[in-house]
Amino acid sequence: MFLIILAGMPASGKSTVAAKLAEAFSLPVLAKDELKESLFDTLGFSCYAEKRKLDHAANAVLLRAARALLKNGQSVILDNNFDEISARALDGMLGEFGARCVTVFFGGDNDAFYRRYVERDRLHLRHLGHVVQDHYPLREGDSPDHDMTREEFREKFEKRGMSEFRVRGARIDIDATEPAAIDTAALIARIREALSKQEETQ
C-alpha cells in the first residue's frame, strides 16, 4: 500500500500529471480542486472569507478520504498545493498505517506559474468558483473575471509554506516551469524505483 502525493504551486501541471499517473498505476486520484467545485455548486459563497472556509473544508475532506482509503489498504494519488499544516496530518497517517509514500514536488519559476494562472483564468479554463472572489454563483450582470495581481498570488500561495512541504518517504523534485516539458515516463520510472526501495526496507 502506498501514497503518491503531487504537491507544489498552482498552474504547475499537477492535475495533468495526476491523470497520467492514475493510468500508469491504476489508482484513483483525490484532488482538492474537484472537491471545492462540488462545494461551490452545492453551497456557494457570499464573500471571500466564506470561500476560504470552503477551501479548508475541501482539504479536510480530502485528508479524511485519504485516511479511509489507507486504513482499508487502498493506495491512492493525492493532488493538491499542500502546505505544512497538511504535512503533519499526512505524516501521521503514513506512520499509523505503515504506508509507503512518494511526494512529487512541482517547483520552478513562480513568475511563470503566476502568468499561467492568470491566463488560465482569463480563458475560463476552470470552474468559475475558483476565479471569482466575492460571491458564487454569479448574479445577472456580474463579471466572471478576476485579474489576480502578482502580490495577491504571492500572499495566497508563495507565503503558505508550500515549498517546505515534506512527509516521510521519498521526495522527487521536478522543474515544472514548462509543464509540457515534464518527462512523465521518466517520472513514473522514478516513482516505481522509490516505492520498490521502500518496500525492500519494510
Q: Are 113 and 11 in contact (CB under 8 A)?
A: yes
Is this model's pTM higher than 0.85 or not? yes
Q: What is the Cα–Cα distance from 84 to 102, expressed in whole angstroms? A: 16
104 forms beta bridges with: 6, 172
What is the pLDDT of the chain when averaged over all its residues? 95
**CB burial readout 135-153, b (16+ within 10 A) else e:** bbeeeeeeeeeeeeeeeeb
Q: Kindly state the DSSP code that residue 12 receives in the 8-state scheme.
A: S
Q: What is the Cα–Cα distance from 70 to 77, expressed in whole angstroms? A: 11
Residue ranges of domains in the chain, CATH in brackets: 2-201 (3.40.50.300)
Q: What is the pLDDT of residues 16-63, one digit of tens each?
A: 999 999 999 999 999 999 999 999 999 999 999 999 999 999 999 999
Of 63, 15, 31, 71, the closest CA to residue 167 belongs to: 63
Q: Is 34 exposed, middle or buried (0-12, 13-18, 19+ CB in 10 A)?
A: middle
Q: Are 152 and 89 in contact (CB under 8 A)?
A: no
